[in-house]
Amino acid sequence: MKFKIIIIFSILVCIIALTFSIYIIFNDFQEMEENNKDTENLIKDTIMVNEETEEKSIDWEYLKSVNQDIIAWIEIPNTIINYPILRDNNLYYLKHSYNKKYNSNGSIFTTNYKPFEDLETLLYGHNMKNGSMFSILDKYMEYDFLHAHQKFKIYTPNKNYECTIFSVYSIGVNTETNNIKELNFDEKINYYKKATRINIKVDKEITKIVKLSTCSYINARTSPTDQRYYIVAYLDAI
């Protein structure tokens, strides 16, 4: 009798665990679909493309009416990354989309006081298992992907930038913080050049950079580690 009770209890635990797992998967999928749909609608409402020149223009007035925290837009051609960038002082957008709806996919955001005016601007985004947000950054550790996607665009209300990647690497977040906390800008540039996993030739003076950051699943199949992927690019106004 006792053995049967144990078996029944074990089955119930398995059923509950399976039901919870299915719920989590369904909820993640639903949030991803909602996030993708909202972003697609935002792109349609705010981004215009000149058919002759293929140049893009953004309706910043409309974006500001949607959310005052939207301060820029990032696009890496031929990838899923085509998102608004939000300024965030308290990590609100870790779990909220650009329209302030709760969403575990979060948003692409920066905590910089003067994004893209500062010498270095940091952008954060989740490494989502569903492939959204900054999940493709791990592919930059591959030579072919890097050289096929070395340049990307950042649009702001005052100026647009072409960003050229010159450093790609993964390291523990605390180690990275300690490594760079006392470095000035030029010393950081040298550090990034030495840290890169793939040698990238740079034949110009770098005066302004953007650093993309996301969690890394290196050595972990199911959950992030303390590692981060860092993609560093210099900015040229266009």
pLDDT higher at 35 or 191? 191
Confidence of residue 9 (pLDDT cuts 50, 70, 90): low
Helix (H, G, I), strand (E, B) or coil at 70: strand
Give the number of other CB atoms < 10 A from CB of residue 106.
Answer: 26
**Residues 65-84: tens digit of each pLDDT:** 999 999 999 999 999 999 99
Rounded average pLDDT over 17-24: 44
Distance CA 161, CA 141 (A): 23
Which pLDDT does position 83 carry in this prediction? 95
Structure tokens at 162: 């072409």
CB atoms under 10 Å from CB of 43, counted, come to 15
Report the alpha-carbon distance of residue 166 to residue 236 in Å, rounded.
Answer: 13
Q: What would the 3-class secondary structure string for 95-162 be?
A: CECCCCCECCCCCEEECCCCCCCCCEEEEECCECCCCCECHHHHHHHCHHHHHHCCEEEEECCCCEEE
Q: Residue 127: beta bridge partners?
A: 133
Percentage of residues in the chain with pLDDT exceeding 70? 79
What is the model's pLDDT at position 23?
Answer: 39
Instruction: Give residues with Cβ within 8 angstroms of 46, minimum separation 6.
Output: 58, 59, 62, 63
For residue 46, is pLDDT > 90? no
For residue 20, the model assigns a pLDDT of 40
Closest residue by Cα to residue 74 from 61, 90, 56, 62: 56
H/E stretch holding 73: strand 70-75
Fold of the CATH domain 69-237: Sortase; Chain: A; (2.40.260)
* Higher per-residue pLDDT: 65 or 1: 65
Q: What is the mean pLDDT of residues 91-105?
A: 92
User: What value does the mean pLDDT take over residues 138-155?
Assistant: 96
pLDDT in tens, 160-212: 999 999 999 999 999 999 999 999 999 999 999 999 999 999 989 999 999 99
Output the pLDDT for position 4. Answer: 58
Taking the C-alpha atoms of residue 103 and residue 96, their distance in angstroms, rounded to an integer, is: 5
Q: Which of 49-58, 106-115, 201-210, 224-233 has the lowest mean pLDDT?
A: 49-58
- Determine contact, residues 93/107, Cβ cutoff 8 Å: yes
Mean pLDDT of 19-32: 48
Instruction: Give the three-class secondary structure for 68.
Output: coil
Model-level pTM? 0.81
pLDDT band at 218 (very low <50, low <70, confident <90, very high): low
Q: How confident is the model at residue 128 (pLDDT cuts 50, 70, 90)?
A: confident
Compute CA distances 146 → 117, 126, 176, 178, 197, whole Å.
26, 20, 22, 27, 11
pLDDT at 6: 56
| Widest pairwise Cα distance in the chain | 79
* CA distances to 11, 78, 193, 219 from 108, in Å: 42, 18, 25, 25
Separation CA 216–CA 172 (nearest Å)? 9
pLDDT given for residue 42 in this prediction: 83
